Chains A and B, each alone.
Chain A
Amino acid sequence: MKDKVTNILISGVGGQGILLASEVLSEVLMLAGYDVKKSEIHGMAQRGGSVVSHIRYGAKVFSSIIPEGQGDILLGFELLETYRYLPLLRQGAKVVANDLKILPPPVTLGREKYPENIPQKIRQAFPDTLVMDGLAVASRAGNPRTANIALLGALSTALPIETSYWYETLQKMVPERFLEVNIKAFDLGRQTAASQI
């Protein structure tokens, strides 16, 4: 009953493929034999809005929402949205951040300022941080729209899951004509993360 539950957050901007990424991740965790719960909020024209998805796995998971301050890993698809959800993490948590800025409306209109030096600020609070240019990795794989899968590849290095479960899940969830490029993006993301450890 008190077996440890691991808490993963995926945050970003609506439209970046967060739902698919959290879908893939939770499927992988289930295949690996864990109890898994996943929760996110979508519906009200969330395109462009701030989005966060909660994924919890372990022997037995109750709440699908991560209790505040107990997040173990944060996978951020955009810098400001990575920064925004850091308070949900525990001390010593791991952060994988996509090195990408998408300006929110108050900033594009010139009313508010986008925070500066976010990667350094994250690293200062969470030394176990990996900042990766997901778009560049995805472009190297052959399609910039696979950045979400490249980021999952980077995240995968932090999880005790065999890669075969990842490939099996991608095969199931990605349309066939995009499968090869997604697997390449996943592998490149994984390599990028491994080379930085």
Chain B
Amino acid sequence: MKRTMLSGNEAIARGAFEAGVKVASAYPGTPSTEILENIARYSTIDASWAPNEKVALEVGIGASFGGGRALVAMKHVGVNVAADPLFTLSYTGVRGGLVLVTADDPELHSSQNEQDNRNYAKFAKIPMFEPSDSQEALDFTRLALEVSERFDTPVMLRTTTRISHSKSVVEPGEPAAGPSTAGCIEKNPAKFVMLPGNARKRHTVVEERLRSMEEWACHQSFNRIEVGEGKVGVITSGVSYLYAKEILPDADILKLGLVYPLPKQLIRDFASRYDTLYVIEELDPFIEEQVRALGIAVHGKDLLPICGELTPARLNKALTAKDVQNYFVPSEPLPNRPPNMCPGCPHRSIFYSLNRLKAFVTGDIGCYTLGFMEPLSAMDTCICMGASIGNATGMTKVLDPEEARRVVAVIGDSTFLHTGINGLMDMVYNKSTATVLILDNRITAMTGRQENPGSGYTLMGEETTRIDLEALCRSVGVKHVTVIDPYDIEHTRNVIKTEMQRPEVSVVIARRPCMLVKRDPVKRQPSLAVDADKCTGCRACLQLGCPAIEWQPDAGDKGKAVINPLLCCGCGLCSQMCHFDAIGVRHEG
């Protein structure tokens, strides 16, 4: 195939195709999402969204146990959800090759923490490859699947945002013949049933596997030495390798493709040549600590930052202690431009209502996490997927009944099905009195609008059974389930108010499709306009924080609101906010 520009995620998808992967499963999460979206283009692979990462991995394990190659993808925090099966999968090993992609997010561009998942490789005793560009992302995906079968182990492939979402030139290869074991039952309980007697034996297999891999890795081309001027040595991997080449073009580099287990003899031999040796890596001193444990003195986190992304500028500053002198710096403070909920977003009125009702909102992960921002300012906690409901239960246990009534859990439809339902079962079972608001926009919106079991469509776009959220809530024992239209502000507020007062679990489902989903038959309404004669400058409409409503401070005595017709999609929330009937349909001319 011809040279082409691929992102790391596209390259991983291509690698999976070339390696004959049969099954791919994932839950969307930035920066991993596009892996499955691209795998879905290859008709030879059964690609699907799972309700969460644990299920995705379990599906992958099943495919592998059935003899087919499998790829499972998730973001770094997704591995926390999948960790339970992962650690035992390390013991069973595989039949068909199995690769788990962990897409980490140094700098937390779109995450709640910046954990370094190389630690999972060591913790779970699973080998981990780390590509440094798209070509390697493709090559290492193929390699990882081969290694998985050769060493009878799951293999992790770690990317970071700069690998996942950067594009570089790739020469794709030809699809290899699939694994010989594709699709047949083979009983082997001693290997696949991990009760203590079997698992004890497998643990010794795991340790032996790591020992033999470590020796093997000393002689593989993915761990390579690039010779420079011979004065300074650098050990590095992943995207840090590229920054090292950029900033230290003359250094000798040991470039590690396999970051666990490390090729110890190769490292010893390399290190012995230099007086000055650097380990250049992002986030944790993962390689550094293991190199130090070999008795080798190195510079690493004594110079480099442990928090945040490494960048060429940060690396340069760390190694040369010189800050970049910018040629131009603005002389005035610039206003920030944080992301915002879209014009017409159905979540907006919910947060407005919660703010007005002075609720304490336990929040969750999704677009609606933006509800914490001004002027809505209506989200008080945010931990991880599914946490909002459990958090609300815990809070109400320590508050007096009057205060407990203020606690409301807010969760999206996809997140509710991810891990929220477990919290709701606990809420009912343990007699919590909190209120749960499910913001059902019928899509996993945050990551770019992926389907989920509540949307009625599969990843391949086929229609499928749609989970009935009302029935689901009732079936776990919730007696009070109400569905509302969040575009009706007054009704929304009244229902939430009533349910907050109720000394029993209640679920309110606020249902309106995401404005950006074209499939759903929401008619885009004509844009609205402010009648300048009627606008009193009271600013009530501004409390929605809608990007389409702009404030003109110099108009009239007190200033006036103006609606940007390019952004407005006519949802009508602002006209409900206006007490002076100043907002209506725009009349041209």
> Once bound together, how far apart are the Cα atoms of A35 and B166, in whole Å?
13
Residue B216 at the A interface, CB < 8 A? no
Which A residue's beta carbon lies closest to that of B7? A38
Assess the A41–B161 pair: CB atoms within 8 A: yes
**When each residue 64-75 of chain A gets 1 if its CB lies under 8 Å from chain B and 0 otherwise, what string results?**
111111000000
Distance, CA A27 to CA B5, complexed state (A): 7
Q: Which of A14, A36, A103 contacts B169 (CB 8 A)?
A: A36
Residue A105 is within 8 A (CB to CB) of chain B in the complex: yes
A197 at the interface (CB under 8 A from B): no
* Set B166, B335, B446, B539: member contacting A106, Cβ < 8 A: B335
Q: A27-B5, A41-B161, A105-B545 are contacts. A69–B324 as well, Cβ < 8 Å?
A: yes
Please tell me if B204 contacts chain A, counting CB pairs below 8 Å: no
CB contact between B326 and one of A40, A43, A69, A103 (< 8 Å): that residue: A69
B114-122, B137-145, B243-251, B472-480 - the one binding chain A: B243-251
Please measure, in the bound complex, the distance between the C-alpha atom of A42 and the C-alpha atom of B165, giving whole angstroms: 8
In the complex, whether A159 has a CB less than 8 A from a CB of chain B is no
Check A107–B335 contact: CB distance below 8 A: yes
Binds A, one of B288-296, B311-319, B400-408: B311-319
Given contacts A44-B109, A64-B166, A103-B550, contact A90 B542 (CB under 8 A): no
Pick the contact of B327 from A47, A66, A83, A91 — CB < 8 Å? A91
Selected from B242, B338, B342, B447, the residue in CB contact (under 8 A) with A43 is: B447
User: Is A98 in contact with chain B by the CB < 8 A criterion?
Assistant: no
Partner of B330, one of A2, A37, A67, A83: A83
Cα A115 to Cα B312 in complex, Å, equals 30
- Contact string, B437-473, partner A, CB cutoff 8 A, digits 1/0? 0000000011110000000000000000000000000
Contacts of A68 in B (CB 8 A): 311-313, 324, 326
B564, chain A: closest CB distance, angstroms = 8
Asked whether A44 and B339 contact (CB < 8 A) given A68-B313, A68-B326, A110-B553, the answer is yes
B230 at the A interface (CB under 8 A): no
Chain A residues, Cβ within 8 Å of B110: 41, 43-44
CB neighbours (8 Å) of B3 from chain A are 30
**Interface code B157-168, partner A: CB below 8 Å = 1, 0 otherwise?**
000011001111
Kindly list chain A residues whose C-beta atoms are within 8 Å of the C-beta of B336: 50, 104, 106, 112
Among B166, B311, B330, B340, contact of A105 (Cβ-Cβ < 8 Å) = B340
The answer for the CA separation of A63 and B220 in the assembled complex, in Å, is: 24
B321-377 interface (Cβ within 8 A of A): 324-330, 332, 334-342, 367, 370, 373-375
Tell me if B249 and A80 are in contact (CB < 8 A).
Answer: no
Q: For the complex, what is the distance from the CA of A105 to the CA of B559, rounded to whole Å?
A: 16
Does the CB pair B313–A48 fall under 8 Å?
no
A49 in contact with B246 (CB, 8 Å): no
Cα-based distance from A56 to B109 in the complex (angstroms): 21
B327 touches A89 (CB 8 A): yes
Say whether A43 contacts B246, CB under 8 Å.
no
Interface range, B side: 35 or more
Interface string of A46-66 (1 = CB under 8 A from B): 111110000000000111111
| B30 beta carbon closer than 8 Å to chain A | yes
**How far is the CB of B517 from the nearest CB of chain A, in Å?**
14
Give the distance in Å from the alpha carbon of A66 to the alpha carbon of B312 in the complex: 8
Residue interface bits B185-210, CB-to-A below 8 A is 1, else 0:
00000000000000000000000000
Answer yes or no: B573 CB below 8 A from chain A CBs. Answer: no
Query: What separation, in Å, do the CA atoms of A42 and B30 have in the docked complex?
Result: 8
Give the distance in Å from the alpha carbon of A81 to the alpha carbon of B334 in the complex. 10
Interface flag for B510 (CB, 8 Å): no
Contact A69 B312 (CB under 8 A): no
* Distance (whole angstroms) from the CB of B557 to the closest CB of chain A: 14
Beta-carbon contact of B547 and A105 below 8 Å: yes
B542 engages A37 (CB within 8 Å): no
Chain A interface residues toward B at CB < 8 A:
1-2, 13-14, 23, 26-27, 30, 35-50, 61-69, 80-81, 83-84, 86-87, 89-91, 103-110, 112-115, 121, 125-126
A-B contact pairs, 22 of them (CB 8 A): A37-B133, A38-B166, A39-B166, A40-B165, A43-B110, A43-B448, A45-B445, A62-B246, A64-B162, A64-B239, A80-B335, A81-B337, A86-B330, A87-B329, A89-B328, A104-B337, A108-B542, A108-B549, A109-B375, A110-B539, A114-B335, A125-B328
Closest 3 CB pairs of A and B: A43-B30, A44-B110, A49-B339
